[in-house]
Each structure stands twice: as C-alpha cells, then as structure tokens.
Structure 1
Amino acid sequence: MTVFRDFNFKLLVVEKLMYWDETLTPAFDLREHMRERGVEDLDAHVQDNELEYTVLDEARAYFEALEIPAELLATVEELTFDGGHQVYQECAPVWDGEDDLFDVRSLDDLDLVPNLKLFTGEWELKHMIPDALEILAARGIAVR
C-alpha cells in the first residue's frame, strides 16, 4: 500500500492521473457522491454547514483511502500546482483559492513518483516550501 505523507501532494498526483491523464479511474465526482448520500444541493449544504474553507470529510476520506498503484505512479513525469485543479473542486466545491487550504507542506513524497522530471508552479512552490527548489534540483527535477 502506497502511503502519502502530505495529503496535498497526493492531490497533485491525483489531479495528474485522474483528471488529466484519465488513467486513475473512475474519476471522483463529489456532487454525485453526495447525491448518493441524499444531498441534492451541494453548494447549499456547504454554505449551510459553513464548510466553504475546508475539504469536505467525504472527499478527504475518499482521497485518503484511494490506492494508487506503483505502475501509475511511475507514469508521473510532471506535476503542476494550480489553484484551478479539478481535484480541488471535488474536495472543496466553493473554494475560492484565496487561502492555503491546498498548499503542499512537504516534498517527502517525491520517492513515490520516481520518474518526475518537471514541477510547474515555481512561484507557489517557493512560498509553500522555502527550500523546495533546492530539493527538486538535487533530484534533477526541473521547475518552471
């Protein structure tokens, strides 16, 4: 079982495999997931329960439990940090991108993506993890 230490790093990997490459299937759809649990209006549910600035428990549980096979992890050659990722909308459907909810806190999970060659999001990365550029450079991973 592959265990990620940083949930937000895992979300970057999920974004790449599930929503960009479509190789990690089926794609998680929070609205459908919540409909199956009797929540018809997800936005109202989020606002009524003051969950605007949090990852919904249902999404966190799904993504934390999600197994990503080593064969798929080996296909990840590029990761991108971007506030508009689909996976973020599946976790926090009314999130406005104005806080650090999805900031990566650690690069300890780099070993899980052994063929990573490029990390896009240099500015964001420098602000999330002060020594990130040095860590990535030491591993031969380009940053832009």
Structure 2
Amino acid sequence: MADFRDFAFKLVVVDKLMYRDKTLTPAFGIEAHMRERGVEDLDDHMEENGLDFTILDEARAYFEALEIPDELLATVDELVFDGGLKVYRECAPVWDGEDDLFDVRSLDDLDLLPNLGVVTGARSLEHMCPGAKDVLAARGITGRH
C-alpha cells in the first residue's frame, strides 16, 4: 500500500479512482457518513460549528486512513486538477474554491503513479506548485491547461 505525502494530491487520485473510474469502492459520501453519527442536517451542523470552509474532520480521517492498493494506482493514467472535483464536495460540502484549502504542495507522490501520462489542469497545478510544468515534462507527462 502506498503512503502519500501530500493529502491534497491523494484527494486528486481518490477522485479519479473513486468517483470517476469507480474502481476504489465503496464511494465515500459525507452526508450518509454524518447521518450514521447522528447528524441529520449537515448544513446546519456545519454552520452551527463554524465549519463552512474547512475539511470536515470525519472526511479527513476517512481519506487519510484510506489505503489504495498499488494495483489501482497503476491504473491512473490521467489526473485532473480542478476546483470542482467531487472529492472536494465530500470533504468540504460548502467550500467555494476561493482559497488554498485543497492546494497541492508537493509532487513527490507522482512516484506512486507509474502510468500517469496526462495532467489536465496543469496551469492550476503550476500555480500551486511552482516548477510543476518542468517536473511533469521531465517525467514524460503531458500537461493540459
């Protein structure tokens, strides 16, 4: 099992495998997860506890502990860096995309994806990680804007 160094990078990989490819199962849903913990109205819970623009602790704990088999990581041939990823809505349901909450800080985890060939949102990635364009090019990964 892979050890990710950058939580935000892991979330991008999870989005690809869990919500786009549907190969990492079961899919995590924050509303159902919170209902199991007695929270009936997630919006009210978030507002009452000042959690509007944060990653919910329950989601962070789930995704941090989530193990992704190497065989699944080897299927990742493309990643999308975009503020509208489903995994972000599952972590921070009312996040507006106007801050750096999900910014990738390191590309060290590229080593975990031996078959990655395309990155969509390379301009966004370059903004988060200056020099990303060169790192991708050195690895033979095509960056699309």
TM-score (norm 2): 0.98
Letter of the structure 2 residue corresponding to residue 43 of structure 1: D
> How far 1:82 sits from its partner (Å)?
1.0
**Could you give the per-residue CA deviations for residues 52-99 of structure 1, whole angstroms, max 9, x where no partner exists?**
111100000000000100000000000001111110000001101111
For 1:77, the equivalent position in structure 2 comes to 77
In the alignment, does 2:24 pair up with 1:58? no
- Cα distance in 1 for partners of 2:120, 2:91 equals 21
Unmatched segments (≥5 aa) in structure 2 = none
Determine the structure 2 residue equivalent to 1:10. 10
> What amino acid maps onto 1:127 in structure 2?
H
d(CA) in 2 for partners of 1:55 and 1:80? 20
Using the TM superposition, give the Cα deviation of residue 115 of structure 1 relative to its aligned residue in structure 2, in angstroms.
0.3
Output the TM-score relative to the length of structure 1: 0.98
Within 5 A, what are the aligned runs for 1:1-144? 1-144=1-144
Moved over 2 A (4+): none
* Equivalent-residue separation in structure 2 for 1:60 and 1:118 (angstroms): 27
Alignment partners' CA distance in 2, 1:99 and 1:34: 25
Sequence identity percentage: 72
Worse-matched range after superposition: 56-65 or 119-128: 119-128
CA RMSD in angstroms, aligned pairs only: 0.6
Per the TM alignment, residue 122 of structure 1 is displaced from its structure 2 partner at its CA by 1.9
SS in 2 for 1:119: strand
What letter is aligned with 1:50? Answer: G
Alpha-carbon distance between aligned partners in 1 of 2:125 and 2:23, rounded to the nearest angstrom: 26
Number of matched pairs: 144
